[in-house]
Amino acid sequence: MIGPVATRLSHVYGISLTVVLLFVTAQFVMHMVMQVPGGIVADRIGARTCALVGLAVIVAGNAVSLPAPQAWLGFLGRAVVGVGTGFAFVGGIDYIRARGGTPFLRGLYGGVSTLAPGIAIALIPLLTDHFGWRAGYLSAVVVGGVCFVLLVLAPAAEPTGRHTGERFDLGFFRDSRLYRFAAIHAMSFGFSVVVGNTVVTLLEHHGHSKRSAAIAGSLALLLSFFTRMAGGPLLRRRDAARWVAGSLLLGGAAAVVLALPLPYAALVAAAAVVGLAAGVPFAMAFTGAAATRPGAPGAAVGFINAWASLVIVVGTPLVGLTFSLPGDGRIGFIVVGALAALAALATPR
* 177-233 pLDDT tens trace: 899 999 999 999 889 888 887 888 888 888 788 778 888 877 887 788 888 888 778
Question: Is residue 171, in this structure, part of any structural domain at all?
Answer: no
Tell whether 134 is covered by a domain.
yes
Indicate the number of domains in the chain: 1
Q: Is 328 left (phi over 0), alpha (psi -120 to 50) or beta?
A: left
Residue range of the domain that includes 187: 3-155+176-346
- Per the domain annotation, does 18 fall within a domain? yes
Contact 34, 82 (CB under 8 A): yes
Residue 168 lies in a domain: no
- How far apart CA 173 and CA 318 sit, in angstroms, is 27
CA distance 50 to 66: 25
Q: What is the pLDDT of residue 118?
A: 65
Give the per-residue pLDDT at 165.
Answer: 46
Higher local confidence (pLDDT), 344 or 294: 344
What does the alpha-carbon distance between residue 19 and residue 150 come to, in Å, rounded to a whole number?
A: 35
Q: What is the pLDDT of residue 25?
A: 78
185 falls within a domain:
yes
pLDDT in tens, 21-69: 788 778 878 988 888 888 888 888 888 999 999 999 999 999 998 888 8
Q: Is the pLDDT reported for residue 242 higher than 60?
A: yes
Whether 269 shows a pLDDT value over 90: the answer reads yes
Q: What is the Rg, in whole angstroms, of the alpha carbon atoms belonging to the chain?
A: 19
Q: Is residue 211 part of a domain?
A: yes
Separation between Cα atoms, residue 256 and residue 238, nearest integer Å: 30
For the entire predicted model, the pTM comes to 0.75
CA nearest to 59, candidates 152, 135, 145? 145
36 belongs to a structural domain: yes
CA atoms within 13 A on the CB side of 148: 17
Lowest mean pLDDT among 50-54, 140-144, 164-168, 330-334: 164-168
CA 44 vs. chain centroid, Å, equals 25
Nearest Cα neighbor of 20 from 9, 12, 28 is 9
**Average pLDDT of span 153-182:** 73
Burial of 170 (0-12, 13-18, 19+ CB in 10 A): exposed
Write the CATH number for 19: 1.20.1250.20
